[in-house]
Structure formats: C-alpha cells, structure tokens
Amino acid sequence: MKARQCIEGTSYGPEALNTMTQAFGQAWSVIARNINRDASEAARARLAKALLSVAAEDSRDVQALKRKALEAMALSYYAVPSDISRSDAPDRENAGQQLT
C-alpha cells in the first residue's frame, strides 16, 4: 500500500504518525465511495501527499488534520499548470503598463 508507506516513511514521532494514520483512514472513508476502483491507489497516494502537506510534528487533532487534508486534496485539483499560465495573463514585457 503506497499511501501507508508514504505516511509511515516520514520522520514524525509516534504520536503524530498515529494521528496522521487515523486522519488518513477517516478522510479516505469520506471520499472512497466517490473514487473509481481503478483510480483508488492513485487517489490514496494523492490523499497521503495532501495530508503530509498540512501535517506538523505537533499534529494531535485527528478531525482537524482530516479536514485540512481533504481541503488540500480538493484544492490540488484546481491548481493545474493551465490555470497558472493562462493565455490572458499579462506577460513580463507588459507587466505594469496601463490598459487603454
């Protein structure tokens, strides 16, 4: 299970790892029914990465960590390169010029 290895392979203390494991399990139970079986391993890995992005050594609140991980995962679907490099974004040459 890649997601579990991703979490357990970190350098957090035992209490933080326990909290993270519980938060991961609870978060997965919230979204699992919406994930295609073929995509479940990739989704679990994405959730694990989202959880690690919001976790801290002093993470002890399972519910807060679960909520933050789900939020981070949801937001990651919107942060795609095409959003960042839109064709209507100002280029560097014209940055700061007023439009007339």
Q: Answer whether residue 52 shows pLDDT above 50.
A: yes
Separation CA 3–CA 87 (nearest Å): 36
Q: Where are the domains of the chain?
A: 2-78
- Mean pLDDT for 28-56 is 92
The SS3 assignment for 98 reads coil
pTM score: 0.69
- The per-residue pLDDT for 14 is 85
- The per-residue pLDDT for 30 is 95
Q: Answer whether residue 80 shows pLDDT above 60.
A: no
Report the run of H or E that residue 22 belongs to, with start and end.
Answer: helix 14-31
